[in-house]
Structure 1
Amino acid sequence: MNKEFTERFLPYFSTTYTRTILSSHYQSLGITDPTRQSYATCYSFISHLKHGCLYYQQASTAPLEIKPLLFFYGFIQFMKASILTKDYQYPSSSQVLAHGVTTRKRKKDAYLFLEDEVKTQRNGLYSHFLSQMFHMKHVEGERYKMKNLFIQIADLHPLITTLTNSSISYQIKKRAKGLLIPSDILDQYHMTQNRLYQYFNKFISEQSQKQTSLQASEKDLILNGLDMNRKYIPPFLMNKEKEFFLLKDKETHLLLPELAVLYLILYNLSMICRYEVEWWNDLISTYEGMDYPYILTFLDMLPYKSIHLFHQLIQFK
């Protein structure tokens, strides 16, 4: 297997190490006899990781025509491995095996990927993943447009800024004690300093016991006390260089974990390359519209970003 797709997960290809990690997860959740349960799930966990790496390896060298499908299958395997760190009985029923989202099977005339959307379903892998890994309940029937999902990925912001000729986010500078936030965000969000702090703290306090504060300096606001080791820090977005961003239009922030965003986009792309092959081939060969740069940049970024995020999820801290 390709080293770049396995080096993060290499320790987990040891049953001794993996059982220890799974047992630690289960013990922290109060599961009865965590050691025994770790023995029961160990090989399934390793198999999902291995298959995820294999699919990613094949996708990295595959033609663009089938690349989304291979990445999607690999992504699903990493999701299932992650779930096993929380739900040792997975899959407990067939309801959690379906994709959990759907999209139009037949595309309209003058179809644009950026304007397409996916809709969530009551049951399936998507909802189970959000529930187990992020303690989030999703709303059945929620619709997400592709262009709105792309905005949630900080790694795509330079491309979006170029294509739209407008900046969509603030880059947030990190300091030893906190984050420096441009003070003009108060006008952009139509908030006072105290209201902005309440807005941030609504999300931060849900997953952190640390005391936070928002102070004003000469040019910036300083958000102190943020737990930088957390896996998900809404409403902040983070790129692969671990730089933080805030969307300038807070109404466009979907407040979804980035892995959920990646899954929704990848699901739709995988469906298109399977069932809309004429449109897909036309896009690849003609470069019509603005869909192609978004899709290509997304697929280039996906393996490295998703592996980093999945590795964060499965490790025990």
Structure 2
Amino acid sequence: MIERVILMNQAFIPFESISYTKRFLTNCYEKQSLTQAKTLSYHTSYSFIYHLQQGRLYFQQASSSPIEIQPMLLFYGIVQMLKACVLTVDPYYPENSAILAHGVTTRKRKKQGYRFLDDEIKVQKNGLFLHSLSKMFHVKQMPSEKFKMNALMKQIADMHPLYSTMTNQEISLPITYRSQSFSISSTLLDDLHMTANRFGLFLEQQNQNRWFNRQVGIQSNKHSITIPLLFKPTLYQSPPWLTSINGDHYILRKREDFCPLPELSIHYLLLYNLSMICRYEAEWWGELHHNFEGEDLPYIKQFLSISNKKLPLLIEHYLRSKE
């Protein structure tokens, strides 16, 4: 844990220099052809630094805190980090008070027999969530207004071994990366009930970041399918490829499990709900950690452990892409 904190500190150390941060933000704004990029970076650099510092402090405290309060620390950590990331693409943030809202909501009172994995979160029209999606990842239209916790957790590749143990089913297939292509077992087409051509059309629909080389097209045989890439998807913008913290790639085996949201947004939604539960549903939250009933606790504990390690890495990868 200490080594991870040291590495996280090293990744963000350059941004403790105001001159470096100004150059970094100026470069970000010039790439967007914004006028007066240097002046804009002068106005945003200190806010950027302070958001990063606060985010790091929350993450560091979460790594050494009891699990019962980790959701709050991790959620406020990702909020601060996302605000810093937004400033790299939107120097005018926040333009109004509506954008300062979290942008999501959950059912306030949990019904009897409540199960976290079945709970839903609803996206609101205004707030940080949609604003960060639009500015950072160019997601203009949401695939849905509501998302189930179980569906969101499946978007995190590092959760899949636990799903395999708990359900005795493999929910994803590993992907082999070769030069400018992905190779996957041909059983994926059977799982998705698609032909190779239909799968190619499906990928074009998912192709928000223009990584799929449609001109070359998908090649298939009895054993595998090969998907040509224009470039290798990065950790922070991986859908429909799910990337583990070790850099391994996976793809879900059921069509209904696919979600086009980037992983940073997935963590944001899950942590928001968990932070609300541990603050306002103290009785359910306390019993969860002591009576061991149901299956929620293993998934929640595993997710918090992954989120604690992976969130700084996701933020680092995003910021590196701006250099």
Cα distance in 2, alignment partners of residues 306 and 147 from structure 1: 19
TM-aligned CA distance change 1:205 to 1:76, over 3 Å:
closer
Moved more, 233-242 or 139-148: 139-148
Matched, 1:204 2:171: no
Offset at 1:234? 2.5
What is the distance in 2 between the residues matched to 1:164 and 1:199? 27
TM-superposed deviation, 1:198: 2.0
Q: How far apart are 1:140 and its partner, in Å? A: 9.7
Confirm or deny: 8 A CA contact 2:204 2:212 kept in the other structure: no
Task: Judge conservation of contact 1:203–1:233 (CA < 8 Å) in 2.
Answer: no
Q: How many residue pairs get matched? A: 317
- C-alpha separation in 2, matches of 1:89 and 1:236: 32
**Number of the residue aligned with 2:197:** 194
**Secondary structure of 1:8's partner?**
helix
Instruction: Structure 1: state its 5+ residue gaps.
Output: none
* Deviation of 1:67 (Å): 1.1
Distance in 1 separating the partners of 2:247 and 2:255: 21
- CA–CA distance in 1 between the matches of 2:211 and 2:276? 38
Q: Is the 8 A contact 1:121 1:140 kept in 2?
A: no
C-alpha distance in 2, partners of 1:9/1:217?
45
- AA aligned to 1:225 is L
Q: After the TM superposition, which of the residue ranges 148-157 and 5-14 deviates more from structure 2?
A: 5-14
Q: 1:77 to 1:31 in 2, by over 3 A?
A: same
Find the partner of 1:71 among 67, 70, 74: 74
Residues 187 and 240 of structure 1: CA distance in aligned 2, closer, same or farther (over 3 Å): same
Structure 1 partner of 2:62: 59
Deviation per residue, 1:122-141 (Å, 9 max, x gap):
10010101010011124497
**Conserved in 1, the CA contact under 8 Å of 2:183 and 2:225?**
yes
Q: Which residue of 2 aligns with 1:239?
A: 244
> 1:139 and 1:61 mapped to 2: Cα distance?
35
Q: 2: distance between equivalents of 1:242 and 1:306?
A: 14
Please name the residue that 1:164 is paired with: 167
Contact 1:204 1:233 in 2 (8 A): no
Give the superposition deviation at 1:191: 1.6
- Kindly tell me: are residues 212 and 97 of structure 1, through their superposed partners in 2, closer, same or farther at Cα, counting changes over 3 Å? farther
Measured at CA, do residues 140 and 98 of structure 1 come closer, stay the same or move farther in structure 2, by a change above 3 Å?
farther
Distance change in 2, residues 1:212/1:237 (3 Å): farther
Is the alpha carbon distance of 1:162 and 1:141 closer, same or farther for their aligned partners in structure 2, counting shifts above 3 Å?
Answer: closer
1:118–1:264 contact (8 Å) kept in structure 2: yes
6-15 or 126-135: bigger deviation: 6-15
Aligned to 2:220: 216
Distance 1:59 1:158 in 2: 24
- Secondary structure of 1:305's match? helix
1:30 to partner: Cα distance: 1.3
Which digits, 9 at most, give the CA deviation of each residue in 1:178-211, with x for residues without a partner? 1111112222222221121222233337534855
Asked if 1:302 is matched to 2:307, the reply is yes
Q: SS in structure 2 opposite 1:149?
A: helix
Considering only aligned residues, what root-mean-square deviation do their CA atoms show, in Å?
Answer: 1.8
Instruction: Deviation per CA, 1:208-231: give whole Å up to 9, x if none.
Output: 485543112452111123411544
Cα distance in 1 for partners of 2:115, 2:28 equals: 43
Whether contact under 8 Å (2:104, 2:129) holds in the other structure is: yes
Q: Indicate the SS of the match to 1:65.
A: helix
| Percent identity for Structure 1 against Structure 2 | 43
Task: Structure 2: give runs of 5+ residues left out of the alignment.
Answer: none
Is the CA contact (8 Å cut-off) linking 2:191 and 2:253 kept in structure 1?
Answer: yes
Q: Name the residue aligned to 2:287.
A: 282
Deviations 1:140-177 (A, max 9, x none): 97111111111111100000111011111111111234
Q: How does 1:141-160 map to 2 (within 5 A)?
A: 142-160=145-163
| 2:268 corresponds to 1:263 | yes
Letter paired with 1:3:
I
Give the aligned residue type for 2:300: I
Cα distance 1:143–1:99, how it changes in 2: closer, same or farther (>3 A)?
Answer: same
